[in-house]
Structure 1
Amino acid sequence: MTPVLVTHPGLQHSHQLALALYERSLLQSFWSGVPVVAEGETLPWWLPAGYRSKVRTVDIPRALRRHPARFQLALRMSNRVNLGIPASDMVHRVFHWFDHWAARQIRQFKPKVVVAYENAAFHTFQAAKAIGARCVLDAAAFHHQTAARLLGTPATPYTPEINRRKDEEIRLADLILTCSPLAAESYIANGVPGDRLRPMMLGAERPPGLPGWQAHDGPPRFVFAGALSRLKSIDSIVAAFRRLHAEGIAYDLEFVGGVADAELLRSVLATPHARHTPNVPQSELFSILARADCLLLPSRFDSFGMVVAEAMACGTPAVVSTNTGAKAMIEAFPGSGWIVEPGVESLHAQLRQLAQRPEQLHAARSMARQSGDAFSWASYRQRAGELFEEFVQ
């Protein structure tokens, strides 16, 4: 019997893990709130356009998948109706609802191993333990105590319950997957034994037919992709480039993505030679990354930073912070990018050097592509498949 069940209230990278298991005949079933489709499969006509945009094509047969839409639709409805609940708490509550739903199905399926994701595994793991199944927690973020210390987000009335469930998920897990060695270190720092942790670096794949980078006249092209937030150090990026402008150093700067802080958007638009492009489809984002000379992700903290893998899949080097998990891609392939301390001073010094010597950016493209190849989704599935083959024995 194929022994592994994978559950996720949204999607994140769960479809890649499920595919890795399916490729090794280890997948019993894959349950995700955001659906995936196999090649040639059509989506229901009534699915909202915003929901459709999240759908990925994955070669997992329909018979091995369940996609209850009620959870994501509840999130969409809550965004339109003022329920008096903070938006972040509403996301957690819906994830907990999915957790209840998944737990009720466990006895029928009787898996040997259950993979569930952070903040949606509490009841699922309790049900799994009741039938003797082993539990794997896939944790997309830093340990919540480290995240609270670094981010400083004010607590809500629901925060204690969220953290209580996260602590219990960690306790019940036989194995915890993290997105990077940096994220694993945060769990160790909070008392989780290292032998229960396994960093599992994520990946990206360059779309077929994507035009490659072309040498160009004019200043170097820097790009940031992601939400405009202090977490991603947008304020530091803006301050560093304003200094470059004051020093008479030429550059081209593009920000791509949503707006988490309207004040930061105003700051971006007031920065010389900078522009903002709202959220774009994934294919267009890859085209922007491929045209750029350098990606910027000097986050205050980031358990991975998927856009770094996406940029390097295009051969575009990156500047990341010491608090960004994807720095491991640069550490594994020195010369594929640059690692700076969070904050304006270190970032400005590095950007100044690169803007004045753009040949460094061009020379880094070869190593960036090698890093992108090594940390592709195919590589992730290979590593994940080997891990689970050993784990289920």
Structure 2
Amino acid sequence: MTPVLVTHPGLQHSHQLALALHERSLLQSFWSGVPVAARGEPAPWWMPEQYRQKIRTVDIPRALRRHPARFQIAMRASQKFHWGGPGLDGAHRIFHWFDAWAARQILKHRPKVVVAYENAAYHSFQAARSIGARCVLDAAAFHHQAAKELFGGFDTPYTPEINRRKDEEVRLADLILTCSPLAAESYVSNGVAADKLRPVLLGAEPPADIPAWQPGPGAPRFVFAGTLCHRKAVDVIVEAFRRLHAEGLRYDLEFMGGVADPALLAAVEATPDARHRANAPQQTLYAVLSQADCLLLPSRSDSFGMVVAEAMACGTPAIVSTQTGAKAMIENHPGAGWIVEPEVDSLYATARRLIEEPGLLRAARPAALRAGQTFSWASYRDRAGQLIEEFVR
């Protein structure tokens, strides 16, 4: 079979695609900046204990993997000392450094197909083209122009270079994978040929010992899991639920995740019957999701929204926005959740209905579980593996 290289400066879902190819005897190598381990394999000796606990177990033989430590060390240093410029510029520069390293290795190992990830494929694809290899771009986000139109934000002096590289990656790619049909549409609307794009929804698999959902004795339990930021519409959630409280409606509201905007944390903490929990291990996240009555993710811009798949894998329905790629899970499984506009009135109206008629939340659980089973990691590997196999043939 044709050997395929998968390369990623971090991890995201690249290990699942690499495993899918290994299961089909298509994987030549998997290079990632974040290490993974096969079952029974010890974590890298140099990794601090808090990170060892988070390492993903993936049954790809060690001989097929490379995890150069210098890129993660540089990433941690960049985050601590703000190296590389404002915002995420430091991370982008490290991704570009990894890309240049991977390109040199590609010239040496000469794979037939290179799968690289958005913002770390510019040099890799140039090297691949020079040896006659084909290029697959796995684009985890919206097209950069669509994202700017949806979310706004500000440019740094390095932003034009980031976007120039992204545009060239798209041009060089023979095939582009996106996380959802919504994300694929963002590329088509910015001039990318539709026949070059293939949306492949991601998946999730909860740990085997996650407890089954138990109906609570009190008010409906809503949970948001993700970074407290404007893009995730945390302000919309806060305003909608403050309005519900002012009308005397009861709910339990939990936020889990990191904090990008301290003002949003203060707003959460000032919201009646709401609380915040910092980032927690994935086991804890699944435990919380499994006992929630409903997940909230009314994002203003989200190419997929992994937590939706994680919630539905537990049978927990979700409220998502029209700008959240994971809405495709609900479109494929009507009844698994509710799709709203990413604004206060729309979320308020849907949440109010569910609080007043909690039986709707219970009735949605079987459809949510079916959606979670359809979009598991095993299902993703089947779909992505078949797609790449057809491509290389």
Q: Could you tell me how far 1:209 is from its partner in structure 2?
A: 1.6
- RMSD across aligned C-alpha pairs, in angstroms? 0.9
Question: Which residue of 2 is the match for residue 114 of structure 1?
Answer: 114
Question: Which residue of 1 is the match for residue 326 of structure 2?
Answer: 326
User: Greater shift after overlay, 359-368 or 204-213?
Assistant: 204-213
Q: Could you tell me how far 1:81 is from its partner in structure 2?
A: 2.1
- In the aligned structure 2, how far is the partner of 1:331 from the partner of 1:41? 40
Question: Which residue of 1 is the match for residue 71 of structure 2?
Answer: 71
Q: Could you tell me how far 1:35 is from its partner in structure 2?
A: 0.5
Q: Could you tell me how far 1:45 is from its partner in structure 2?
A: 2.5
Listed as ranges, the matches of 1:304-323 within 5 Å are 304-323=304-323
Q: Could you tell me how far 1:87 is from its partner in structure 2?
A: 3.6
Contact 2:54 2:281 in 1 (8 A): no
TM-score (norm 1): 0.99
- In the aligned structure 2, how far is the partner of 1:48 from the partner of 1:163? 34
- Which amino acid letter does the alignment assign opposite residue 238 of structure 2? V
Stretches of 4+ aligned residues off by more than 6 angstroms: none
Contact 1:34 1:54 in 2 (8 A): no
User: Greater shift after overlay, 255-264 or 46-55?
Assistant: 46-55
Residue 220 of structure 1 pairs with residue 217 of structure 2: no
3-state SS of paired residue (2:88):
helix
Question: Which residue of 1 is the match for residue 16 of structure 2?
Answer: 16
3-state SS of paired residue (2:177):
strand
- Which amino acid letter does the alignment assign opposite residue 184 of structure 1? A
Question: Which residue of 1 is the match for residue 362 of structure 2?
Answer: 362
Q: Could you tell me how far 1:2 is from its partner in structure 2?
A: 4.5
Contact 1:31 1:67 in 2 (8 A): yes
3-state SS of paired residue (2:198):
strand
Contact 1:79 1:87 in 2 (8 A): no
Question: Which residue of 2 is the match for residue 100 of structure 1?
Answer: 100
- In the aligned structure 2, how far is the partner of 1:348 from the partner of 1:62? 50
Question: Which residue of 2 is the match for residue 200 of structure 1?
Answer: 200
- In the aligned structure 2, how far is the partner of 1:112 from the partner of 1:353? 54
- In the aligned structure 2, how far is the partner of 1:216 from the partner of 1:56? 32
Contact 1:119 1:166 in 2 (8 A): yes
- Which amino acid letter does the alignment assign opposite residue 282 of structure 2? Q
- Which amino acid letter does the alignment assign opposite residue 97 of structure 2? W
- In the aligned structure 1, how far is the partner of 2:150 from the partner of 2:8? 26
- In the aligned structure 2, how far is the partner of 1:73 from the partner of 1:170? 29
Q: Could you tell me how far 1:77 is from its partner in structure 2?
A: 1.1
Contact 2:78 2:84 in 1 (8 A): no
Identity of aligned residues (%): 71
C-alpha offsets along residues 238-267 of structure 1, whole Å, 9 cap, x if unaligned? 000001001100100000000010000000
Q: Could you tell me how far 1:218 is from its partner in structure 2?
A: 0.8
- Which amino acid letter does the alignment assign opposite residue 208 of structure 1? A
Listed as ranges, the matches of 1:162-241 within 5 Å are 162-241=162-241
Question: Which residue of 1 is the match for residue 252 of structure 2?
Answer: 252
Contact 1:112 1:132 in 2 (8 A): yes
User: Greater shift after overlay, 307-316 or 82-91?
Assistant: 82-91
- In the aligned structure 1, how far is the partner of 2:32 from the partner of 2:387? 22
Q: Could you tell me how far 1:85 is from its partner in structure 2?
A: 1.4
- Structure 1 pair 84–173 and aligned structure 2 pair: CA distance change class (3 A): closer
- In the aligned structure 2, how far is the partner of 1:64 from the partner of 1:84? 32
Q: Could you tell me how far 1:101 is from its partner in structure 2?
A: 0.1
- In the aligned structure 1, how far is the partner of 2:53 from the partner of 2:143? 30
- Which amino acid letter does the alignment assign opposite residue 279 of structure 1? N
- In the aligned structure 2, how far is the partner of 1:351 from the partner of 1:86? 38
- In the aligned structure 1, how far is the partner of 2:342 from the partner of 2:53? 33
Contact 1:117 1:137 in 2 (8 A): yes
Contact 1:135 1:172 in 2 (8 A): yes
Aligned residues: 393
Q: Could you tell me how far 1:215 is from its partner in structure 2?
A: 1.5
- In the aligned structure 2, how far is the partner of 1:87 from the partner of 1:101? 24
Question: Which residue of 2 is the match for residue 49 of structure 1?
Answer: 49
Q: Could you tell me how far 1:49 is from its partner in structure 2?
A: 3.4
Question: Which residue of 2 is the match for residue 279 of structure 1?
Answer: 279
Residue 123 of structure 1 pairs with residue 99 of structure 2: no
Contact 2:84 2:93 in 1 (8 A): no
Question: Which residue of 2 is the match for residue 344 of structure 1?
Answer: 344
- Which amino acid letter does the alignment assign opposite residue 371 of structure 2? S
Contact 2:175 2:198 in 1 (8 A): yes
3-state SS of paired residue (1:105):
helix
Q: Could you tell me how far 1:80 is from its partner in structure 2?
A: 2.3
Question: Which residue of 2 is the match for residue 85 of structure 1?
Answer: 85
C-alpha offsets along residues 37-88 of structure 1, whole Å, 9 cap, x if unaligned? 0000001332123443442000000000000011111011122224471140
- In the aligned structure 1, how far is the partner of 2:6 from the partner of 2:88? 24
3-state SS of paired residue (1:171):
helix
Q: Could you tell me how far 1:206 is from its partner in structure 2?
A: 1.7
- In the aligned structure 2, how far is the partner of 1:309 from the partner of 1:332? 13
- Which amino acid letter does the alignment assign opposite residue 372 of structure 1? G
Question: Which residue of 2 is the match for residue 7 of structure 1?
Answer: 7
Question: Which residue of 1 is the match for residue 37 of structure 2?
Answer: 37
- Structure 1 pair 82–146 and aligned structure 2 pair: CA distance change class (3 A): closer
3-state SS of paired residue (1:271):
coil
- Which amino acid letter does the alignment assign opposite residue 70 of structure 1? R
Residue 294 of structure 1 pairs with residue 294 of structure 2: yes
Contact 1:9 1:33 in 2 (8 A): yes
Question: Which residue of 2 is the match for residue 144 of structure 1?
Answer: 144
3-state SS of paired residue (1:364):
helix
TM-score (norm 2): 0.99
Contact 2:84 2:91 in 1 (8 A): no
- Which amino acid letter does the alignment assign opposite residue 383 of structure 1? R
- In the aligned structure 2, how far is the partner of 1:87 from the partner of 1:351? 34
- Which amino acid letter does the alignment assign opposite residue 186 of structure 2? S
- In the aligned structure 2, how far is the partner of 1:213 from the partner of 1:327? 23
